[in-house]
Structure 1
Amino acid sequence: MPFPDNKLTVRSPADLVAAVPYLLGFRPGNGSIVVIASRDHRIVFAARGDLPAPGAPARQLLDLAAHLVPIVRRQQPITDLMITGYGDADHVDPALRAVAEAFTAGGMTVRELLRVTGTRVVNLTCDNPTCCPPQGIPFDPTASLIAVQATAAGLVALPDRAAVAARFAPVTGAARDDMRRAIDGAATRLKTVNAAGGAAVDEAGAQAVRHALRHHDTRLTDDEVAWLTLLLTRTSVRDLAVDLTQPHDQHVTFWADVTRRAHEPLVPAPATLLAITAWRCGDGALAALAAERALQVDPAYQLADLLLQALHAGLPPSTFDQATTSARTDPSTQ
């Protein structure tokens, strides 16, 4: 995940560990590895992965390193890396050293290897017991200055990835039943518009998208969500929504709400719009989970698939936007 504007001041390994949840958007659990790239003492990128389970074949760890190294190298120029692993020493320490060796072999400098076990941070690259005791140093992420800075900057660290996904989890019960009834009415309305031709549908879609985004701070009615999500199944309408959606938190919240309330078959478009908006805002975790949600409903949904590939490759949103814009304006791709 790239960071165009750093808002946290990291002065020590404990600060770095306290900052990681705010950089990712959630607190990594045991078995996680986080690679942080910096450029002239400024954090510019963070990538998280899952370590192979204890006792897994060594090939799996090599595959993880082979996946991470090109992603981080793509962020050049970078000056050094800090790698943090979460869990017990027997599991994490060998894995950290193996991944660090892969980065070093790739021509990158690993400045620090840190292990987080419970509420202690162990520095594997410092053998001075005065500043880096073998048992680690205690830290309380919630009481650190980093937590204060992050809160003041409007950054949030959710408990885990499940909490991130809960932001757009589908509605249930009466709310779901109400949306199904709204969809029936919107489908009847769309038949009438379809009879007037594609241009009429595009115009209706443009009006719905502009109205919704203009009033993003007011929760849409069920009828408005049903109408909007039906129209978003038309590629031209969805692409207009991509262009008009702005990279700010209010539009993230808006598309999360629309995704939650969308009728299941209509989820891919709003979920992909949520993913794109979150990515543009620097929230890679939310972006990836939203894209995965779109593909869960429709594995062939191309825009979500392309976006997820770009996220996994560590590309910046600007590259993705340029590529999709070029594809839309190239007559050979129409």
Structure 2
Amino acid sequence: MSFPDSKLIVRSAADLVAAVPYLLGFRPGDGSIVVIASRDRRIVFAARTDLPAPGTPAGHLIDLAAHLVSVVRRQRPITDLMIIGYGTADHVNPALRAAGEAFTAGGMTVREVLRVTGTRVVDLTCHNPACCPPQGIPCDPTSSLVAVQATAAGLVALPDRAAVAARFAPVTGAARDGMRHATTRAATRLEAANTDGTDLDEAGAQAVRGVLRQPDRRLTDDEIAWLTLLLTRTPVRDLAVDLTPPHDRHVTLWTDVTRRADEPLVPAPATLLAVTAWRCGDGVLAAMAAERALQVDPAYRLADLLLQALHAGLPPSAFAHATAGARTKPATQ
């Protein structure tokens, strides 16, 4: 089985477990369940969610399984699935059984069901003790050949979700003070522009195009302050959504803008980071960036729609189509 970009080959259960952090972008912790969908032996989709607490009524597990089925159905055509649970048998096995039964009842082929406990992986679909002993087989994802190959291919697996959030955490100290002063200056500039009749949508279009032309250049505090104020205008933000290409360097660009933006101005760049990350295939970063936007402004509609689409397992193309009517047309084409 291969990764979507054919950089890695997965030949065993231990290989699959070692590959999961590179599919997700971080290492799942205990209490997680991961569903991996493949098409003709090629991995095309991976999703992770938290399991309910141990001892949760069976109905909650059934609801969780039904949600996973609905998400995976949207990835068709797929040929088979692998399900991996992380944690102790008492906590994980009931959820794995519920998920496996739900997928099978839905007409999908479940090829492997694995449980990872500590540094061992147990194959719950194989009952041959010669190859799959009940206590599992050793598995160290950090030192496996798959991990070495992934690192050589430039893939990254952060230690946990907190490490993903840290990528766009607000700057602090002198950097934060500098941005506050720059935002005050930008607000004065904006007020003057309003007074003299400047077309702010056009000014925003120029600012957006300027930063996108040189995504690797570090922006000054004044440039970020001016850009983030203009991005509060919906046509300017929508133009940035349309013009930002799905490249890692543009993920880096919007990450930097999100980190340095004055707190009330975070929703627009955080949403742009979310959209760009999603288009690049990083659903975890996309969801967490959208959550960051909603943390600052719970009513920020585009971030809310994007998060709903992510949770539903929709592809970026479907999200763009669904939100076309909810977004204003860009002021400058």
TM-score category, normalised to shorter length: over 0.9
- Residue 312 (structure 1) aligns with: 311
TM-score by length of 1: 0.95
Worse-superposed segment, 202-211 or 305-314: 202-211
**Alpha carbons 1:38, 1:44 under 8 Å: kept:** yes
- For 1:76 and 1:211, the matched residues in 2 are separated by 39
State whether residues 103 and 110 of structure 1, in contact with CA within 8 Å, keep that contact through their aligned partners in structure 2: yes
2:111 alignment counterpart: 111
User: Within 1, Cα distance between the matches of 2:149 and 2:245?
Assistant: 25
Aligned partner of residue 157 in structure 2, secondary structure: coil
Q: Is the 8 A contact 1:39 1:78 kept in 2?
A: yes
Distance across 2 between alignment mates of 1:312 and 1:154: 27
Identify the residue that residue 165 of structure 1 maps to in structure 2: 165
Q: Deviations over 1:279-313 (max 9, x none)?
A: 00000000000000000111111110110011001
Residue 230 of structure 1 corresponds to 229
CA contact (8 A) 2:235 2:328 kept: no
Letter paired with 1:79: T
Aligned to 1:60: 60
Please list the CA deviations of residues 27-68 of structure 1 after superposition, one character each: whole Å capped at 9, or x if unmatched. 000000000011111111111111111112222211211211
Number of aligned residues: 327
Query: For residues 300 and 42 of structure 1, what CA distance do their matches in structure 2 show?
Result: 39
- For 2:38 and 2:133, the matched residues in 1 are separated by 25
Identity percentage of aligned residues: 82
Amino acid in structure 1 at the alignment position of 2:300: Y
Normalization by structure 2: what TM-score?
0.95
Q: State whether residues 24 and 46 of structure 1, in contact with CA within 8 Å, keep that contact through their aligned partners in structure 2.
A: yes
- 1:37 equivalent to 2:2? Answer no
| Counterpart residue identity of residue 301, structure 1 | Y
Instruction: Quote the Cα distance in structure 2 between the aligned partners of 1:292 and 1:141.
Output: 29
Amino acid at match of 1:136: G
Gaps of 5+ in 1: none
Give 1:95 deviation, angstroms. 1.6
Q: Distance in 2 between matches of 1:140 and 1:186?
A: 51
**Offset of residue 5 of structure 1:** 3.0
The alignment status of 1:209 with 2:208, answered yes or no, reads yes
Correspondence list, 1:281-296, <5 A: 281-296=280-295
Return the offset for 1:240: 1.0
* Greater displacement, 148-157 / 201-210: 148-157
Q: 2:176 maps to what in 1?
A: 176
Aligned-residue Cα RMSD (Å) equals: 1.4
Structure 1 position 4, deviation (Å)? 5.2
Q: Match of 2:302? A: 303
Would you say 1:194 and 2:197 are equivalent positions? no
Equivalent pair of 2:204/2:230 in contact (CA under 8 Å): yes
Structure 2: unaligned runs, 5 residues or longer: none
In the TM superposition, structure 1's runs of 4+ consecutive aligned residues that sit over 4 Å from their partners are 326-330
Structure-2 separation of matches of 1:218 and 1:158: 25
Q: Distance in 1 between matches of 2:31 and 2:326?
A: 39
Separation of aligned partners in 2, 1:6 and 1:258: 32
Match of 1:185 in 2: 185
Instruction: Give SS of 2:199's match.
Output: helix
Distance 2:286 2:327 in 1: 22
Structure 2 residue aligned with 1:247: 246
Q: Structure 1 residue 193: deviation in Å?
A: 1.5
Query: Mapping of 1:32-181 within 5 angstroms?
Result: 32-181=32-181
Which letter does structure 2 place at the counterpart of 1:74? R
Alignment of 1:322 with 2:321, yes or no, is yes
User: What's the CA shift for 1:322?
Assistant: 2.7
Give 1:207 shift. Answer: 1.3
SS of structure 2 residue aligned to 1:256:
helix
* Distance in 1 of aligned mates of 2:54 and 2:160: 21
**Code of the aligned partner of 1:315:** L
